[in-house]
Structure 1
Amino acid sequence: MTDPVLSLTDARLALDGNAGRVEILHGISLDVARGETLGLVGPSGSGKSSLLMLMGGLERATGGRIAALGQDLTAMDEDALARFRRDHMGVVFQSFHLIPTMTALENVATPLELAGVKDAFERAEAELEAVGLGHRAGHYPSQMSGGEQQRVALARASVTRPEILLADEPTGNLDETNGAAIVDMLFGLRDRHGATLILVTHAPELASRCDRVIRLRDGRLEDSAVDRTEAAE
């Protein structure tokens, strides 16, 4: 693989808790190619979400090295990491994390405004149209269903046209119908913007659509690649 978008070398994560220091991830080494879709699967508590957070610089590794787009995330301070995410990454969580006092349009426009983009609201409106919510632009999160809120979150994550799109259980809080729609939109946004997509999932149908699936168990990579049809538990 030449010039991976993401490269982890012996990445480790340990957190201090009431019972002492807990090792979450143990020496993860992994490269992700440009434009690849990578699924992270495994039992609850295996470290999937923690690994995704390391990749996005949302958790700081306690050992090893993580590089994204050729830049060393482990060497950046919090401000530099925030700027890097703003400029290069989109993140979608299981919980939608929308700002309740902002309309759908304002939520989607926020990352563009923070980046100083002049046509922030025009681009946000186009992104809402792309996820089928142009007619809901003026509504607040409390006025929308869970599926609609997740579509707004998808639009917000993709409106900056990120090179890397991270999704943590994006269908976890949705029913089957809404979950399937979100999956289609997630891959559609990936195709439209050419982003590298990395997602955590328990859903077999979602994992099966990825180019490659990585299984974690007890904070370690169990396989470098597994059968996608049996990927999720």
Structure 2
Amino acid sequence: MTDIILSLKDTDLTLQGNAGPVGILRAITLDVTRGETLGLVGPSGSGKSSLLMLMGGLERATSGQVSALGHDLTALNEDALARFRRSHMGVVFQSFHLIPTMTALENVATPLELAGKRDAFERAEEELRAVGLGHRMDHYPAQMSGGEQQRVALARAAAPRPQILLADEPTGNLDGVNGQAIMELLFGLRDRHGATLILVTHAPELAARCNRVIRLADGRIAGEDHATARAAE
């Protein structure tokens, strides 16, 4: 039996706009299996990032069901969702969302401390070394380049050993060289920790490395491609 780690069933997302309700996602049904790497692609405004937010419980479905690791995310309140993410998910955004008054080490250690991990700083140091920032642990975000800040964000997401790793345009704010480096690190973290990786991207080379690619258009799933099929073309 296929091991489904995340599932959406007939999921809609409607948000209130200035002119009234706006349908963002419509009738999304999708299963993600454990250990899979899934890419979400499509034009701007197609609903890619909104779908990722639903998967992480950062947006609440208007209708339908979103479940992860056997938990119905649509039934959890905000505090329970936050605890679930802290224990099971890592999230990397296009904007790095680092705490400016904390060093790289403190930024990575903070979610571990919140989770009650006694070895928070040891694990944070290990992850920073894994992304090549052993020499930057005591630096603040303003003292680091964009590529270095994204490495800190990756280390922070990976440090709790999440079962699901969500990435929203992780190379979007970076130049080609830094983007390539972050791409390699992202897949390296997946391999090292065995996480299921789901990412939103406009980068064809990043999508090409995924096991499966879901194409979205106008808030709906427009199609999907599998790595084996792409390789045969």
Task: Give the TM-score taking structure 1 as reference length.
Answer: 0.97
Find out whether 1:117 has 2:91 as its counterpart.
no
**What does residue 199 of structure 2 align with?**
199
Post-superposition offset of 1:44: 0.1
What secondary structure is seen at the aligned counterpart in 1 of 2:83?
A: helix
Pairing of 1:156-175 with structure 2 (within 5 A): 156-175=156-175
One-letter identity of the residue aligned with 1:168: D
Letter in 2 for 1:48: K
Query: Counterparts of 1:194 and 1:42 in 2: how far apart (Å)?
Result: 27
Secondary structure at the counterpart of residue 225 of structure 1: strand
Determine the C-alpha separation between the residues in 2 that align with 1:225 and 1:76: 32
The residue type paired with residue 103 of structure 1 is: T
Matched, 1:77 2:80: no
- Matching residue's letter, 1:107: N
Distance 1:134 1:5 in 2: 33
Instruction: Output the CA distance in 1 between the equivalents of 2:225 and 2:204.
Output: 15
Q: How does 1:52-67 map to 2 (within 5 A)?
A: 52-67=52-67
1:39 match: 39
Deviation at 1:224, TM superposition (A): 3.2
C-alpha deviation, 1:225, in angstroms = 2.7
Unpaired segments ≥5 residues, structure 1: none
How far apart are the structure 1 equivalents of 2:175 and 2:226?
27
Contact 2:211 2:226 in 1 (8 A): no
The CA distance in 2 between the partners of 1:119 and 1:218, in whole Å, is 45
CA-CA distance at 1:157 after TM superposition: 0.2
Aligned partner of 2:98 in structure 1 is 98
Q: Deviations over 1:87-133 (max 9, x none)?
A: 00000000000000000000000110000100100100000000000
Using the alignment, how far apart are the partners of 2:51 and 2:199 within structure 1? Answer: 10
Aligned partners of 2:121 and 2:86: how far apart in 1? 17
Which residue identity is paired with 2:96? F
RMSD: 1.3
Is 1:223 the counterpart of 2:223? The answer is yes
Give the deviation of 1:201 after TM superposition: 0.1
Q: Percent identity?
A: 78
Cα distance in 1 for partners of 2:2, 2:213 equals 19
State the distance in 2 between where 1:226 and 1:112 align: 35
Contact preservation (8 Å) 2:94, 2:169 = yes
1:214–1:226 CA contact under 8 A, matched in 2: no
Residue in 2 aligned with 1:135? 135
Distance, in Å, in 2 between the alignment partners of 1:21 and 1:128 is: 43
Equivalent in the alignment of 1:179: 179
Asked if the contact 1:215–1:226 (Cα under 8 Å) also holds between the matched residues in 2, the reply is no
The superposition leaves residues 34-90 of structure 1 with CA deviations (integer Å, 9 ceiling, x where unpaired) of 000000000000000000000000000000000000110000000000000000000
Deviation above 3 Å: which 4+ runs of structure 1? Answer: 226-229
Any idea what SS the aligned residue of 2:113 has? helix
- Provide the aligned length of Structure 1 versus Structure 2: 230
Aligned equivalents of 2:114, 2:167: Cα separation in 1: 21
Q: How many angstroms apart in 2 are the aligned matches of 1:7 and 1:224?
A: 16
Displacement of 1:226? 6.1
Aligned residue for 1:50?
A: 50
Cα separation, 1, equivalents of 2:107 and 2:219: 34
**Corresponding letter in the other structure for 2:119:** D
